[in-house]
Structure 1
Amino acid sequence: MPVLVVNVDHVATLRQQRRGIEPEPVTAAHLAELAGARGIIVHLREDRRHIIDRDVSILSRCLNTRLHLEMAATAEMQSIALDNRPYMVCLVPEKREELTTEGGLAVAGRETHLREYLAPIHEAGICSSLFIEADERQIDAAKSVGSEFIEIHTGRFADAATPKARQAEFTKIVKGIEYARSLDLRVNLGHGLNYTNIFMFKDVPGIDEYSIGHSIVSRAVLVGMDRAVREMCEIIRTFAE
Protein backbone atom coordinates (compact mmCIF):
# COMPACT_ATOMS: atom_id res chain seq x y z
CA MET A 1 0.00 0.00 0.00
CA PRO A 2 1.32 3.48 -0.81
CA VAL A 3 2.16 5.78 2.07
CA LEU A 4 2.17 9.52 2.71
CA VAL A 5 5.39 11.50 3.03
CA VAL A 6 4.87 15.12 4.10
CA ASN A 7 6.87 18.09 2.88
CA VAL A 8 7.21 20.79 5.55
CA ASP A 9 8.96 23.40 3.39
CA HIS A 10 6.07 25.85 3.57
CA VAL A 11 6.06 25.86 7.35
CA ALA A 12 9.61 27.13 7.03
CA THR A 13 8.49 29.58 4.31
CA LEU A 14 6.24 31.31 6.84
CA ARG A 15 9.04 31.41 9.42
CA GLN A 16 11.50 32.89 6.95
CA GLN A 17 9.13 35.72 6.06
CA ARG A 18 10.36 37.41 9.24
CA ARG A 19 13.61 35.47 9.70
CA GLY A 20 12.28 34.49 13.10
CA ILE A 21 11.82 31.28 15.07
CA GLU A 22 8.18 30.44 14.36
CA PRO A 23 6.46 28.44 13.09
CA GLU A 24 8.91 25.64 13.76
CA PRO A 25 9.20 23.13 10.86
CA VAL A 26 10.70 20.52 13.19
CA THR A 27 7.60 20.62 15.38
CA ALA A 28 5.42 20.41 12.27
CA ALA A 29 7.38 17.36 11.16
CA HIS A 30 6.82 15.61 14.49
CA LEU A 31 3.09 16.40 14.40
CA ALA A 32 2.94 14.97 10.89
CA GLU A 33 4.66 11.79 12.08
CA LEU A 34 2.25 11.44 15.02
CA ALA A 35 -0.67 11.84 12.61
CA GLY A 36 0.52 9.00 10.39
CA ALA A 37 3.08 10.36 7.92
CA ARG A 38 5.68 7.73 7.07
CA GLY A 39 8.37 10.25 6.28
CA ILE A 40 9.25 13.95 6.09
CA ILE A 41 10.54 15.82 3.04
CA VAL A 42 12.54 19.03 2.99
CA HIS A 43 14.05 20.83 0.00
CA LEU A 44 17.26 22.64 0.92
CA ARG A 45 17.56 25.29 -1.79
CA GLU A 46 20.68 27.19 -2.73
CA ASP A 47 19.10 30.48 -1.59
CA ARG A 48 17.73 28.96 1.67
CA ARG A 49 14.36 30.57 1.01
CA HIS A 50 12.56 28.21 3.41
CA ILE A 51 14.41 25.20 4.80
CA ILE A 52 17.82 26.09 6.22
CA ASP A 53 20.83 23.97 7.16
CA ARG A 54 19.87 23.92 10.82
CA ASP A 55 16.51 22.32 9.97
CA VAL A 56 18.16 19.50 8.03
CA SER A 57 20.62 18.88 10.84
CA ILE A 58 17.93 18.66 13.54
CA LEU A 59 15.52 16.57 11.47
CA SER A 60 18.24 14.12 10.49
CA ARG A 61 18.84 13.42 14.18
CA CYS A 62 15.36 13.44 15.68
CA LEU A 63 12.79 12.05 13.24
CA ASN A 64 11.10 8.81 14.20
CA THR A 65 10.31 7.93 10.58
CA ARG A 66 12.68 8.90 7.76
CA LEU A 67 14.01 12.05 6.16
CA HIS A 68 13.91 12.70 2.42
CA LEU A 69 16.25 15.49 1.36
CA GLU A 70 15.41 17.17 -1.94
CA MET A 71 18.36 19.01 -3.44
CA ALA A 72 20.13 20.12 -6.58
CA ALA A 73 23.09 18.06 -7.80
CA THR A 74 25.79 20.41 -6.52
CA ALA A 75 28.97 19.79 -4.58
CA GLU A 76 27.63 21.77 -1.62
CA MET A 77 24.46 19.69 -1.39
CA GLN A 78 26.37 16.44 -1.78
CA SER A 79 28.51 17.40 1.22
CA ILE A 80 25.43 18.31 3.28
CA ALA A 81 23.77 15.00 2.43
CA LEU A 82 26.86 13.03 3.44
CA ASP A 83 27.11 14.97 6.71
CA ASN A 84 23.44 14.44 7.65
CA ARG A 85 22.75 10.98 6.20
CA PRO A 86 19.04 11.26 5.32
CA TYR A 87 17.17 8.10 4.39
CA MET A 88 16.86 9.36 0.82
CA VAL A 89 18.28 12.05 -1.42
CA CYS A 90 15.99 13.20 -4.24
CA LEU A 91 17.73 15.16 -6.98
CA VAL A 92 15.58 17.96 -8.38
CA PRO A 93 16.10 20.76 -10.89
CA GLU A 94 16.46 24.17 -9.32
CA LYS A 95 16.28 27.70 -10.68
CA ARG A 96 16.80 30.61 -8.32
CA GLU A 97 13.94 32.68 -9.83
CA GLU A 98 11.25 29.96 -9.77
CA LEU A 99 8.48 30.05 -7.16
CA THR A 100 8.41 26.25 -6.97
CA THR A 101 9.94 23.38 -8.92
CA GLU A 102 8.62 23.76 -12.45
CA GLY A 103 9.36 20.38 -14.00
CA GLY A 104 11.37 17.22 -13.94
CA LEU A 105 15.13 16.85 -13.88
CA ALA A 106 16.81 16.32 -17.26
CA VAL A 107 18.60 13.03 -16.62
CA ALA A 108 19.00 11.80 -20.20
CA GLY A 109 22.37 12.95 -21.53
CA ARG A 110 23.76 13.42 -18.00
CA GLU A 111 23.89 9.79 -16.93
CA THR A 112 27.65 9.62 -16.39
CA HIS A 113 27.76 12.83 -14.36
CA LEU A 114 24.80 11.88 -12.17
CA ARG A 115 26.06 8.31 -11.68
CA GLU A 116 29.38 9.69 -10.45
CA TYR A 117 27.62 12.32 -8.34
CA LEU A 118 25.46 9.71 -6.60
CA ALA A 119 28.26 7.18 -6.09
CA PRO A 120 29.45 8.49 -2.69
CA ILE A 121 25.84 8.95 -1.58
CA HIS A 122 25.08 5.32 -2.38
CA GLU A 123 28.32 4.22 -0.74
CA ALA A 124 27.15 5.99 2.44
CA GLY A 125 23.99 3.83 2.44
CA ILE A 126 21.67 6.65 1.37
CA CYS A 127 18.88 5.81 -1.06
CA SER A 128 18.43 8.02 -4.11
CA SER A 129 15.53 9.24 -6.20
CA LEU A 130 15.32 11.41 -9.30
CA PHE A 131 12.44 13.85 -9.79
CA ILE A 132 11.53 13.37 -13.44
CA GLU A 133 8.74 13.57 -15.98
CA ALA A 134 6.79 10.43 -16.89
CA ASP A 135 8.86 10.01 -20.03
CA GLU A 136 10.44 6.71 -21.08
CA ARG A 137 13.71 8.37 -22.09
CA GLN A 138 14.09 9.97 -18.66
CA ILE A 139 13.04 6.77 -16.90
CA ASP A 140 15.62 4.76 -18.87
CA ALA A 141 18.25 7.32 -17.88
CA ALA A 142 17.25 7.10 -14.21
CA LYS A 143 17.69 3.34 -14.34
CA SER A 144 21.10 3.79 -15.97
CA VAL A 145 22.20 6.19 -13.24
CA GLY A 146 21.56 3.52 -10.61
CA SER A 147 18.84 5.27 -8.64
CA GLU A 148 16.51 2.99 -6.69
CA PHE A 149 13.53 5.35 -6.92
CA ILE A 150 12.06 7.90 -9.24
CA GLU A 151 9.54 10.55 -8.28
CA ILE A 152 7.23 11.37 -11.15
CA HIS A 153 6.39 15.06 -11.47
CA THR A 154 2.62 15.45 -11.20
CA GLY A 155 2.54 19.23 -11.53
CA ARG A 156 1.23 19.32 -15.09
CA PHE A 157 -1.53 16.93 -14.11
CA ALA A 158 -2.45 19.08 -11.09
CA ASP A 159 -2.36 22.33 -13.08
CA ALA A 160 -4.29 21.09 -16.12
CA ALA A 161 -6.95 23.62 -17.10
CA THR A 162 -9.55 21.19 -18.48
CA PRO A 163 -10.73 17.64 -17.67
CA LYS A 164 -9.44 16.49 -21.07
CA ALA A 165 -5.99 17.92 -20.44
CA ARG A 166 -5.88 16.43 -16.94
CA GLN A 167 -6.87 13.03 -18.25
CA ALA A 168 -4.11 13.20 -20.85
CA GLU A 169 -1.52 14.01 -18.17
CA PHE A 170 -2.91 11.29 -15.92
CA THR A 171 -2.56 8.74 -18.73
CA LYS A 172 1.09 9.75 -19.22
CA ILE A 173 1.78 9.30 -15.51
CA VAL A 174 0.13 5.86 -15.37
CA LYS A 175 2.14 4.71 -18.39
CA GLY A 176 5.29 6.09 -16.75
CA ILE A 177 4.58 4.17 -13.55
CA GLU A 178 4.04 0.95 -15.49
CA TYR A 179 7.23 1.42 -17.48
CA ALA A 180 9.34 2.27 -14.44
CA ARG A 181 8.06 -0.75 -12.54
CA SER A 182 8.93 -2.95 -15.51
CA LEU A 183 12.53 -1.79 -14.98
CA ASP A 184 12.33 -2.60 -11.25
CA LEU A 185 12.35 1.05 -10.27
CA ARG A 186 10.28 2.08 -7.28
CA VAL A 187 7.92 4.99 -7.95
CA ASN A 188 6.85 7.97 -5.88
CA LEU A 189 4.50 10.74 -7.04
CA GLY A 190 4.70 14.40 -6.12
CA HIS A 191 3.91 18.04 -6.88
CA GLY A 192 0.50 19.67 -6.76
CA LEU A 193 -1.36 16.68 -5.35
CA ASN A 194 -4.23 17.61 -3.06
CA TYR A 195 -7.30 16.29 -1.25
CA THR A 196 -9.31 16.16 -4.47
CA ASN A 197 -7.07 15.23 -7.40
CA ILE A 198 -5.34 12.40 -5.55
CA PHE A 199 -8.49 10.29 -5.95
CA MET A 200 -7.68 9.78 -9.62
CA PHE A 201 -4.84 7.49 -8.51
CA LYS A 202 -7.05 5.29 -6.32
CA ASP A 203 -6.86 2.24 -8.59
CA VAL A 204 -3.35 2.80 -9.95
CA PRO A 205 -0.91 0.09 -8.80
CA GLY A 206 2.82 0.46 -8.34
CA ILE A 207 2.99 3.68 -6.30
CA ASP A 208 5.24 3.60 -3.22
CA GLU A 209 4.74 7.11 -1.82
CA TYR A 210 2.70 10.24 -2.29
CA SER A 211 4.88 13.28 -1.60
CA ILE A 212 2.58 16.11 -0.54
CA GLY A 213 3.39 19.42 1.10
CA HIS A 214 1.67 22.61 -0.01
CA SER A 215 -1.87 21.24 0.15
CA ILE A 216 -1.38 19.73 3.60
CA VAL A 217 0.30 22.82 5.06
CA SER A 218 -2.42 25.03 3.54
CA ARG A 219 -5.10 22.90 5.18
CA ALA A 220 -3.16 22.81 8.43
CA VAL A 221 -3.36 26.61 8.66
CA LEU A 222 -7.13 26.18 9.01
CA VAL A 223 -7.59 22.86 10.83
CA GLY A 224 -4.19 22.04 12.33
CA MET A 225 -1.37 19.77 11.19
CA ASP A 226 -2.67 16.70 12.98
CA ARG A 227 -6.07 16.77 11.29
CA ALA A 228 -4.66 17.77 7.90
CA VAL A 229 -2.25 14.83 7.84
CA ARG A 230 -4.74 12.34 9.27
CA GLU A 231 -7.29 13.24 6.61
CA MET A 232 -4.78 12.68 3.81
CA CYS A 233 -3.60 9.42 5.37
CA GLU A 234 -7.19 8.23 5.55
CA ILE A 235 -7.75 9.02 1.87
CA ILE A 236 -4.67 6.99 0.92
CA ARG A 237 -5.75 4.12 3.19
CA THR A 238 -9.07 3.88 1.33
CA PHE A 239 -7.12 3.15 -1.86
CA ALA A 240 -6.29 -0.31 -0.50
CA GLU A 241 -9.91 -1.19 0.29
Structure 2
Amino acid sequence: MTRPLRLGVNIDHVATLRNARGSAYPDPLRAALLAEAAGADGITAHLREDRRHIRDADMAALKAGLGIPLNFEMAPTEEMGRIALATAPHACCLVPEKRQEVTTEGGLDVVADQARLTDFVAMLSETGIRVSMFIGHDARQIEASAAIGAAVVELHTGHYCDLHYAGKFAERDAELARLAEGARLAARLGLEVHAGHGLTFETVAPIAALPEIRELNIGHFLISEAVFIGLEAAIGEMRRRMELARG
Protein backbone atom coordinates (compact mmCIF):
# COMPACT_ATOMS: atom_id res chain seq x y z
CA MET A 1 0.00 0.00 0.00
CA THR A 2 1.33 3.43 -0.98
CA ARG A 3 2.04 5.66 1.98
CA PRO A 4 0.38 9.09 2.02
CA LEU A 5 2.51 12.03 0.97
CA ARG A 6 2.47 15.12 3.18
CA LEU A 7 2.75 18.71 1.94
CA GLY A 8 4.66 21.26 3.99
CA VAL A 9 4.11 24.87 2.89
CA ASN A 10 6.98 27.33 3.31
CA ILE A 11 5.70 30.86 4.03
CA ASP A 12 9.06 32.69 3.96
CA HIS A 13 8.22 34.83 0.95
CA VAL A 14 5.09 36.25 2.49
CA ALA A 15 7.55 37.80 4.94
CA THR A 16 9.77 38.88 2.02
CA LEU A 17 6.85 40.85 0.60
CA ARG A 18 6.10 42.38 3.99
CA ASN A 19 9.69 43.39 4.56
CA ALA A 20 9.97 45.03 1.12
CA ARG A 21 7.88 47.91 2.48
CA GLY A 22 8.78 47.61 6.14
CA SER A 23 5.10 47.24 6.96
CA ALA A 24 3.09 44.91 9.18
CA TYR A 25 1.48 43.14 6.22
CA PRO A 26 1.14 40.65 4.67
CA ASP A 27 1.29 38.66 7.88
CA PRO A 28 3.11 35.29 7.62
CA LEU A 29 0.88 33.81 10.32
CA ARG A 30 -2.23 34.70 8.34
CA ALA A 31 -0.74 32.96 5.30
CA ALA A 32 0.13 29.93 7.43
CA LEU A 33 -3.41 29.71 8.79
CA LEU A 34 -4.81 29.95 5.24
CA ALA A 35 -2.43 27.17 4.20
CA GLU A 36 -3.57 25.08 7.16
CA ALA A 37 -7.22 25.60 6.20
CA ALA A 38 -6.40 24.68 2.58
CA GLY A 39 -5.00 21.29 3.63
CA ALA A 40 -1.29 21.83 4.31
CA ASP A 41 0.12 19.16 6.62
CA GLY A 42 2.76 21.46 8.09
CA ILE A 43 4.31 24.91 7.84
CA THR A 44 7.99 25.58 7.19
CA ALA A 45 9.71 28.86 8.02
CA HIS A 46 13.41 29.68 7.67
CA LEU A 47 14.80 32.10 10.23
CA ARG A 48 17.94 33.24 8.47
CA GLU A 49 20.84 34.79 10.32
CA ASP A 50 20.30 38.12 8.52
CA ARG A 51 16.49 38.03 9.13
CA ARG A 52 15.87 38.89 5.49
CA HIS A 53 12.33 37.48 5.60
CA ILE A 54 11.12 35.54 8.66
CA ARG A 55 11.83 37.28 11.98
CA ASP A 56 12.06 36.02 15.54
CA ALA A 57 8.57 37.29 16.37
CA ASP A 58 7.17 35.37 13.38
CA MET A 59 8.52 32.09 14.73
CA ALA A 60 6.91 32.70 18.11
CA ALA A 61 3.60 33.64 16.48
CA LEU A 62 3.63 30.59 14.22
CA LYS A 63 4.33 28.23 17.12
CA ALA A 64 1.53 29.79 19.19
CA GLY A 65 -1.02 30.08 16.39
CA LEU A 66 -0.74 26.91 14.32
CA GLY A 67 -2.69 23.71 14.78
CA ILE A 68 -0.37 21.77 12.44
CA PRO A 69 3.36 21.04 12.86
CA LEU A 70 5.91 23.83 12.53
CA ASN A 71 9.18 23.02 10.77
CA PHE A 72 11.89 25.49 11.83
CA GLU A 73 14.41 25.72 8.99
CA MET A 74 17.74 27.08 10.23
CA ALA A 75 21.51 27.07 10.00
CA PRO A 76 23.18 24.91 12.69
CA THR A 77 24.56 27.83 14.69
CA GLU A 78 24.67 28.51 18.41
CA GLU A 79 22.22 31.41 18.06
CA MET A 80 19.69 29.38 16.07
CA GLY A 81 20.04 26.47 18.46
CA ARG A 82 19.01 28.71 21.37
CA ILE A 83 16.02 30.07 19.45
CA ALA A 84 14.92 26.59 18.39
CA LEU A 85 15.03 25.32 21.96
CA ALA A 86 12.99 28.33 23.13
CA THR A 87 10.47 27.92 20.29
CA ALA A 88 10.14 24.12 20.61
CA PRO A 89 8.86 23.43 17.08
CA HIS A 90 7.78 19.99 15.90
CA ALA A 91 10.88 19.77 13.69
CA CYS A 92 14.09 21.57 12.76
CA CYS A 93 15.57 21.28 9.29
CA LEU A 94 19.27 22.12 9.30
CA VAL A 95 20.44 23.91 6.16
CA PRO A 96 23.64 25.55 4.91
CA GLU A 97 23.48 29.32 4.82
CA LYS A 98 25.58 32.00 3.14
CA ARG A 99 24.82 35.70 3.54
CA GLN A 100 25.31 36.48 -0.17
CA GLU A 101 23.09 33.71 -1.56
CA VAL A 102 19.62 34.50 -2.91
CA THR A 103 18.29 31.15 -1.74
CA THR A 104 19.77 27.95 -0.34
CA GLU A 105 22.13 26.80 -3.09
CA GLY A 106 22.87 23.23 -2.06
CA GLY A 107 22.80 20.67 0.67
CA LEU A 108 24.52 20.70 4.02
CA ASP A 109 27.98 19.09 4.11
CA VAL A 110 27.36 16.67 6.97
CA VAL A 111 30.53 14.68 6.29
CA ALA A 112 32.82 17.68 6.76
CA ASP A 113 31.16 18.77 10.02
CA GLN A 114 30.10 15.44 11.45
CA ALA A 115 31.42 15.81 15.01
CA ARG A 116 29.85 19.22 15.62
CA LEU A 117 26.57 18.25 13.96
CA THR A 118 26.34 15.10 16.10
CA ASP A 119 26.27 17.28 19.22
CA PHE A 120 23.90 19.79 17.63
CA VAL A 121 21.41 17.12 16.56
CA ALA A 122 21.56 15.51 20.01
CA MET A 123 20.86 18.87 21.70
CA LEU A 124 17.65 19.31 19.68
CA SER A 125 16.58 15.68 19.69
CA GLU A 126 16.81 15.43 23.48
CA THR A 127 13.97 17.96 23.76
CA GLY A 128 11.73 15.98 21.41
CA ILE A 129 12.42 18.00 18.24
CA ARG A 130 12.63 15.90 15.06
CA VAL A 131 15.82 16.87 13.24
CA SER A 132 16.10 16.85 9.47
CA MET A 133 19.25 17.34 7.40
CA PHE A 134 18.83 19.25 4.12
CA ILE A 135 21.31 17.47 1.87
CA GLY A 136 22.08 16.39 -1.66
CA HIS A 137 21.64 12.83 -2.86
CA ASP A 138 25.29 11.87 -2.30
CA ALA A 139 25.50 8.55 -0.47
CA ARG A 140 28.19 9.83 1.93
CA GLN A 141 25.96 12.67 3.10
CA ILE A 142 23.01 10.34 3.60
CA GLU A 143 25.12 7.85 5.55
CA ALA A 144 26.61 10.62 7.68
CA SER A 145 23.12 11.97 8.42
CA ALA A 146 22.10 8.57 9.73
CA ALA A 147 25.33 8.27 11.73
CA ILE A 148 24.83 11.57 13.58
CA GLY A 149 21.35 10.63 14.75
CA ALA A 150 19.11 12.65 12.45
CA ALA A 151 15.56 11.35 12.10
CA VAL A 152 14.98 12.76 8.61
CA VAL A 153 16.80 13.78 5.45
CA GLU A 154 15.33 16.31 3.04
CA LEU A 155 16.76 15.85 -0.43
CA HIS A 156 17.55 19.03 -2.37
CA THR A 157 15.54 19.03 -5.61
CA GLY A 158 16.75 22.42 -6.86
CA HIS A 159 19.20 21.09 -9.47
CA TYR A 160 16.56 18.73 -10.88
CA CYS A 161 14.15 21.65 -11.26
CA ASP A 162 16.78 23.93 -12.79
CA LEU A 163 17.63 21.30 -15.42
CA HIS A 164 13.96 20.94 -16.29
CA TYR A 165 13.50 24.65 -16.92
CA ALA A 166 16.77 24.84 -18.84
CA GLY A 167 15.37 22.22 -21.23
CA LYS A 168 18.15 19.76 -20.36
CA PHE A 169 15.82 16.81 -20.10
CA ALA A 170 18.36 13.98 -20.34
CA GLU A 171 20.38 15.55 -17.52
CA ARG A 172 17.18 16.17 -15.58
CA ASP A 173 16.23 12.52 -15.84
CA ALA A 174 19.70 11.45 -14.71
CA GLU A 175 19.39 13.77 -11.70
CA LEU A 176 15.97 12.31 -10.93
CA ALA A 177 17.50 8.82 -10.99
CA ARG A 178 20.16 9.95 -8.51
CA LEU A 179 17.50 11.42 -6.23
CA ALA A 180 15.58 8.13 -6.40
CA GLU A 181 18.71 6.17 -5.51
CA GLY A 182 19.40 8.52 -2.61
CA ALA A 183 15.84 8.16 -1.34
CA ARG A 184 16.14 4.37 -1.40
CA LEU A 185 19.42 4.44 0.50
CA ALA A 186 18.05 6.81 3.15
CA ALA A 187 14.99 4.63 3.68
CA ARG A 188 17.18 1.52 4.03
CA LEU A 189 19.16 3.33 6.73
CA GLY A 190 15.97 4.02 8.68
CA LEU A 191 15.71 7.71 7.81
CA GLU A 192 12.40 9.35 6.94
CA VAL A 193 12.78 10.93 3.50
CA HIS A 194 11.53 14.38 2.54
CA ALA A 195 12.29 16.47 -0.54
CA GLY A 196 12.05 20.08 -1.58
CA HIS A 197 13.42 23.21 -3.25
CA GLY A 198 12.24 24.68 -6.53
CA LEU A 199 9.31 22.31 -7.03
CA THR A 200 6.43 23.53 -9.23
CA PHE A 201 3.29 22.14 -10.83
CA GLU A 202 5.46 21.02 -13.76
CA THR A 203 8.20 19.32 -11.77
CA VAL A 204 6.46 17.86 -8.73
CA ALA A 205 5.00 14.64 -10.14
CA PRO A 206 8.22 12.61 -10.68
CA ILE A 207 9.41 13.51 -7.18
CA ALA A 208 6.02 12.80 -5.61
CA ALA A 209 6.00 9.40 -7.34
CA LEU A 210 9.13 8.22 -5.46
CA PRO A 211 7.66 5.79 -2.93
CA GLU A 212 10.23 6.43 -0.19
CA ILE A 213 9.41 10.14 0.06
CA ARG A 214 7.01 10.99 2.87
CA GLU A 215 6.87 14.79 2.63
CA LEU A 216 7.44 17.59 0.15
CA ASN A 217 8.23 21.12 1.33
CA ILE A 218 7.26 23.78 -1.20
CA GLY A 219 7.22 27.52 -0.74
CA HIS A 220 8.35 30.05 -3.33
CA PHE A 221 6.28 28.61 -6.16
CA LEU A 222 3.10 28.35 -4.08
CA ILE A 223 3.39 31.93 -2.83
CA SER A 224 4.14 33.10 -6.39
CA GLU A 225 1.18 31.19 -7.83
CA ALA A 226 -1.06 32.58 -5.09
CA VAL A 227 -0.59 36.05 -6.60
CA PHE A 228 -2.59 34.82 -9.59
CA ILE A 229 -5.02 32.20 -8.27
CA GLY A 230 -4.94 32.52 -4.48
CA LEU A 231 -3.19 30.42 -1.87
CA GLU A 232 -6.03 27.96 -1.32
CA ALA A 233 -6.26 27.17 -5.04
CA ALA A 234 -2.47 26.88 -5.41
CA ILE A 235 -2.21 24.44 -2.51
CA GLY A 236 -5.21 22.49 -3.73
CA GLU A 237 -3.74 22.08 -7.20
CA MET A 238 -0.35 21.05 -5.81
CA ARG A 239 -1.99 18.44 -3.61
CA ARG A 240 -4.00 17.16 -6.58
CA ARG A 241 -0.85 16.68 -8.64
CA MET A 242 0.98 15.02 -5.76
CA GLU A 243 -1.87 12.58 -5.20
CA LEU A 244 -2.15 11.76 -8.92
CA ALA A 245 1.57 11.03 -9.06
CA ARG A 246 1.31 8.87 -5.96
CA GLY A 247 -1.35 6.74 -7.57
In the superposition, the TM-score normalised over structure 2's length comes to 0.96
Partner of 1:205: 211
Of 230-239 and 64-73, more deviation after overlay is shown by: 230-239
The residue correspondences of 1:21-40 to structure 2 (distance < 5 A) are: 21-40=24-43
Cα drift, residue 118 of structure 1: 1.8
Residue deviations 1:4-43 (CA, integer Å, cap 9, x gap): 1000001100000011111111000000010010000000
Alignment of 1:6 with 2:9, yes or no, is: yes
Partner of 1:218: 224
Cα drift, residue 3 of structure 1: 1.1
Amino acid at match of 1:191: H
Question: How many equivalent residue pairs?
Answer: 241
Partner of 2:62: 59
CA contact (8 A) 1:40 1:67 kept: yes
SS at match of 1:239: helix
- Among all aligned residue pairs of Structure 1 and Structure 2, give the percentage whose two residues are the same amino acid: 44
Structure 2 unaligned runs (5+)?
none
Partner of 1:105: 108
* Residues 132/223 of structure 1: CA separation in 2 closer, same or farther (3 Å cut): same
Of 196-205 and 184-193, more deviation after overlay is shown by: 196-205
Partner of 2:237: 231
Amino acid at match of 2:158: G
Partner of 1:71: 74
Partner of 1:41: 44
Residue deviations 1:160-190 (CA, integer Å, cap 9, x gap): 1310111111011000001111101110000
Cα drift, residue 91 of structure 1: 0.4
RMSD over equivalenced CA pairs, Å: 0.9
- Following TM superposition, where does structure 1 have runs of at least 4 consecutive aligned residues deviating by more than 4 angstroms? none
Partner of 1:176: 182
Cα drift, residue 230 of structure 1: 1.1
In the superposition, the TM-score normalised over structure 1's length comes to 0.98
Amino acid at match of 1:140: E
Structure 1 unaligned runs (5+)?
none
* Structure 1: distance between partners of 2:51 and 2:6: 28
Cα drift, residue 238 of structure 1: 1.9
